[in-house]
Structure 1
Amino acid sequence: MIVASAAALGEGRFRPVVLLAALVAALLIQIGANLANDLFDFKRGADTTERTGPVRVTQAGLLSEREVAAGTAVTLGLAFLVGLYLVWAGGWPILAVGMASIAGAILYTGGPWPLGYHGLGDLFVFIFFGLVAVVTTYYLHTGEAGAVAFTLALPVAFIVTDILVVNNLRDIATDRAAGKRTVAVRIGARATRIQYVLFLAGAYAVPLALGLTGRMGSLFWLPLLSLPLAYRLSRTVLGGSEGPDLNRVLKGTGQLHLLFAILLGLALVWRP
């Protein structure tokens, strides 16, 4: 959303209320998705005492299954209500996107054929938390969703997907035991580590390509300021780190996602 809003601001078509509403809706969907994932992974046996990731409230006994289910329903319901304003602001296409996002939050690990258990988690995150998030926000600001929006969405999609890649790399053993056939389980740890680095490379390739072809202005290099962090994360992943070390990479990848978006946003706002 930072990238899409910065692009709209640079074009003089920024709508602050739309940004605020979109941020609230996205945050609520993210919380709802996390709660649903917490609940359904516990039910399916993917979250056990052997898990080395951050605390899961259902598995840890901090909340009951009923409480987590209620929290999921409330947050996704609130997201729907906020989304009604966005439908008013952007038209019926926004309703379709919003309903698909809410459904995806549940079907990622819930339902009779959970996406995350059949190797579709990476694709789901790439599309919904990357492409859809950026393109929809840009559309809400400008009324357009062309090639520019999709291109700017690519680096965001690559890095946000890498957050899941690290998570699944860390959980290969427990996911395999629970029958959760993530991409990492299917291709193995070595290939997953390479996937992580390739996705980071893809993220940096986009602003470079736009800048070198004259489509982004002279500050296209700004996102490169985050390269030292990306290098450290890549070196840790390729070095064979596991368990708690990958938790640090998980946190660092989230930080990289935010830093990269801010730097790319600055490059889009100021185009000397």
Structure 2
Amino acid sequence: MSTATADVSKRRAWVMAARPQTLPAGSAPVIVGAGLALHDGVFAPLPWLAALAGALLLQIGTNFANDYYDAVNGADTDDREGFTRVTAGGLIPAQQVKYAMAAAYGFAVVVGVYLVAVGGVPILVVGLTSIAAGILYTGGPYPYGYRGLGDLFVFVYFGVVAVTGTYYVQAVATSDAGLFPTWLPSEIGLATAVVASLPAAGLSTAILVVNNVRDRETDAEAGKRTLAVMFGYRFSRLEFLALVGMAYVVPIGFALDGAFGLPALAPLLSLPLAVSVSKTVLRRTDGEALNPALERVGQTVFAHSVLFALGLALTA
């Protein structure tokens, strides 16, 4: 353990493990779900706040899980250029990080009880699979994050599921479905929510792409087969551009729909930030450049989502 890490206080170490810099990106899809709900006149404050709390707890739990399992699986080495991991760095005992992971997911379950009462079986399935996906990403006998499936996980759960689930739980709360519906009420349509989720899904996945570009060499040595490891820098950069590009094409499609109009173009105000960070990703592979780039992509996700939510809500 280096002198730099040895001097870190226990409180600071726990903050590092929770990775609060990821929370704006974790809240972004829930914000989009609120904007669409306001547009459709189904916004429900309490279910939305519960969805936000649940999303943040799942994010923190997944951060703890990745810290713990990457360390015990040997994926975090001294050569890694990313942010300090507390388990591998010896700042917090591995068992304590594992308990913290369980606690975060446990609190998510507590919040989920209310959401399940409102949303029924669909939310129950979403909640349980979200926790399982967060753990099995780097844990279990066959961690799928080590087999090139991490990008798909982030796209689905931190984008499509988060936005659509947030919208659904509000829509069902303001409907006549009653408590604990056993299936999707026929009067609630989710197609628009799925399309609205694509920008948050794309930009959230772009964060992982930057992470994997930075860690490509050390991941390969550790046997962690991300898409960057399997297909190289060129593929990852094209993937990054496609994901970011999608985030700015979708609002144009909404703007062309008369039900939404020009306010849906509000996310384009965040385009300069996306262009700036894209230039870095296209040119650099080192942690000195890509660690700040990771935070800027997170800022882009949050700014884009807030602007998109406002644009959707303005046409309520």
TM-score interval for Structure 1 and Structure 2 normalised by the shorter chain: over 0.9
1:48 equivalent to 2:77? Answer yes
User: How far did residue 102 of structure 1 move?
Assistant: 0.6
Query: Are 2:299 and 1:270 aligned?
Result: no
What's the CA shift string for 1:185-233, capped at 9, x where partnerless?
Answer: 1110122112111110011110112212434222122111001001101
- Give the 4+ runs in structure 1 shifted more than 3 A: none
Query: Map of 1:1-272 to 2, 5 A cutoff?
Result: 1-143=30-172, 144-271=188-315
* C-alpha distance in structure 2 between counterparts of 1:213 and 1:85, whole Å: 35
Per-residue deviation, 1:171? 0.4
Kindly tell me: are residues 80 and 135 of structure 1, through their superposed partners in 2, closer, same or farther at Cα, counting changes over 3 Å?
same
Structure 2, unmatched stretches of 5+, are 1-29, 173-187
TM-score (norm 1): 0.97
Percent sequence identity is 49
Give, as a single letter, the amino acid of the residue that structure 2 aligns with 1:51. R
Question: In terms of mean alpha carbon deviation, does 56-65 or 122-131 score higher?
Answer: 56-65
User: 1:49 deviation in Å?
Assistant: 1.1
Amino acid at match of 1:226: S
Using a 3 Å threshold, how does the CA distance of structure 1 residues 264 and 130 change in structure 2: closer, same or farther? same
* 1:5 counterpart letter in structure 2: A
Contact 1:207 1:216 survives alignment (8 Å): no
- What letter matches 1:97 in structure 2? V
Matches of 1:250 and 1:21 in 2, distance apart? Answer: 27
Output the amino acid matched with 2:266.
L
Structure 2 Cα separation of the partners of residues 145 and 183 of structure 1: 34
Q: Secondary structure at the match of 1:54?
A: coil
Distance 1:262 1:204 in 2: 14
Normalising to structure 2: TM-score of the pair?
A: 0.84
| AA in 2 matched with 1:67 | Q
Cα shift readout 1:77-130 (whole Å, capped 9, x = no counterpart): 111111000001111211111000011111000011101001000000000000
Mapped to 1, the partners of 2:275 and 2:285 lie a distance apart of: 15
Partner Cα separation in structure 2 for residue 2 and residue 195 of structure 1? 25
How far apart in 2 are the matches of 1:251 and 1:88? 36
2:16 match: none
SS for the counterpart of 1:129 is helix
SS in 1 for 2:264: coil
- Deviation, 1:244, is 1.5
Consecutive unaligned residues in structure 1, runs of 5 or more? none
CA RMSD of aligned residues (A): 1.2
Partner Cα distance (2:254, 2:51) in 1: 26
Partner Cα separation in structure 2 for residue 25 and residue 259 of structure 1: 21
Q: Distance in 2 between matches of 1:220 and 1:73?
A: 39
CA contact (8 A) 1:116 1:182 kept: yes
d(CA) in 2 for partners of 1:68, 1:85: 27
